[in-house]
Amino acid sequence: MIDLFSTDDVHHAHVGGKGYNLHKLHKAGLPVPRAVVIRPQPVSQDELSAKLGELEWLRNHSHYAVRSSGVGEDSHDKSWAGIFDSYLHVTPDDIAHHVQRVIDSIESSRYKKYSAESGAEIKDMAVIVQEMIDADYAGVAFTASPIESDERIALIEIVEGVGESLVSSQKTPATLRVNKITNMARVQQTGDDNINEDILQQICDTLMPYLHDIETLYGQPMDVEWAVRGDKIFILQARPITTR
């Protein structure tokens, strides 16, 4: 088990793609919710629960997000988005159980179908346990518009509450088209939540400097999941923009 906030160096093979990116973002000073990675090695649920119980910061929160971090996931050519299971609002007593469910999703028909079609595979599955952000607003941002193939334009998608309703297509988000040179934003669609335009602009103004920093850190256009709680913004994950 690796605490991404207290470890100076991590290896991709130990923490998987998503875990590696979270560690990189944290080291660069970006506001990432605290997270630990369960390494891809056999461990019983009792052993895992005992190890998790030793981490003081894990005892200070009531709910967590449990996500996949396969070795090769969130890579430059394939994101594997939506292929593996993720769980939100997991209580401390249920973490070990949900970690196993994420690991088991590598045996799902969804994974096998995508692997066969793409010719790619995930050989080892690490799992992230991350502080759950009960967001006021959340969404996905593309530092270069995948619709227009224009690196001067960023797209920001915004929903009320946590972002699961967006990534699972339960809601149509508000969408902002942002000129990265002038920082001028235009509302392309208002979305199901009818979020006030002043709030949309405030989120845009707060988020854009972080998107610039992330794109600069990686040296390429990025797909970023983010959340806002109160006056704080959090970067939940970042990966290169791919077709999937």
**Residue 95 vs residue 244, higher pLDDT:** 95
Q: How far apart are CA 40 and CA 166, in angstroms?
A: 29
**Residue 233 vs residue 118, higher pLDDT:** 233
Amino acid at site 131: E
Q: Is the pLDDT of residue 224 over 50?
A: yes
The CB density around residue 175, as the number of other CB atoms within 10 Å, is 19
In order, the DSSP letters of 79-124 are --TTTS--EEEE-GGGHHHHHHHHHHGGGSHHHHHHHHHHT-----
13: left (phi over 0), alpha (psi -120 to 50) or beta: alpha
Same domain flag for 170 and 206: yes
SS3 for 55? coil
What domain count does the chain have? 2
Count CA atoms closer than 13 A to 13's CA, side-chain side.
0
- Whether 85 contacts 101, CB under 8 Å: yes
pLDDT confidence of residue 168: 66
pLDDT confidence of residue 36: 92
Q: Is the pLDDT of residue 244 over 60?
A: no
Same domain flag for 92 and 148: no
Confidence class of residue 215 from pLDDT cuts 50, 70 and 90?
A: very high
**Six-digit token string for 28:** 């660069």
**Residue 216 vs residue 11, higher pLDDT:** 216
- Here the CATH number for the domain that contains residue 20 is 3.30.1490.20
- Here the CATH number for the domain that contains residue 157 is 3.30.470.20
Same domain flag for 223 and 205: yes
pLDDT confidence of residue 147: 83
pLDDT of 25-45, one tens digit each? Answer: 999 999 999 999 998 776 777
Q: Average the pLDDT over each of 13-22, 132-141, 205-214, 224-233 and give the range with the smallest value.
A: 13-22
- Whether 208 contacts 178, CB under 8 Å: yes
Buried b (16+ CB within 10 A) or exposed e, 113-127: ebeeeeeeebebbbb
Q: Using the 3D structure, point to which of 114, 131, 148 is the last residue of a domain.
A: 131
pLDDT confidence of residue 77: 64
Q: How far apart are CA 96 and CA 92, in angstroms?
A: 8
Query: If you average pLDDT over every residue of the chain, what do you get?
Result: 88
Same domain flag for 127 and 143: no
Q: Using the 3D structure, point to which of 76, 105, 131 is the last residue of a domain.
A: 131
Same domain flag for 127 and 176: no
Same domain flag for 124 and 171: no
pLDDT of 128-152, one tens digit each? Answer: 999 999 999 999 999 999 888 788 9
29: left (phi over 0), alpha (psi -120 to 50) or beta: left
Residue keyed to tokens 């090769």: 72
Q: Give the structural domain span for 142.
A: 137-240
Distance of CA 175 to the CA centre of its chain: 19
Q: Using the 3D structure, point to which of 131, 165, 184 is the last residue of a domain.
A: 131
**pTM score:** 0.88
Q: How far apart are CA 17 and CA 67, in angstroms?
A: 11
SS3 for 25? helix
pLDDT of 59-85, one tens digit each? Answer: 777 899 999 998 877 666 666 777 888
Same domain flag for 6 and 127: yes
Kindly state the helix (H) or strand (E) to which residue 45 belongs, with its residue range. helix 45-53
Per-residue pLDDT, averaged over 213-221, amounts to 96
Q: Is the pLDDT of residue 243 over 60?
A: no
230: left (phi over 0), alpha (psi -120 to 50) or beta: left
Residue keyed to tokens 């970042």: 238
Residues 6+ apart with CB under 8 A from 46: 96
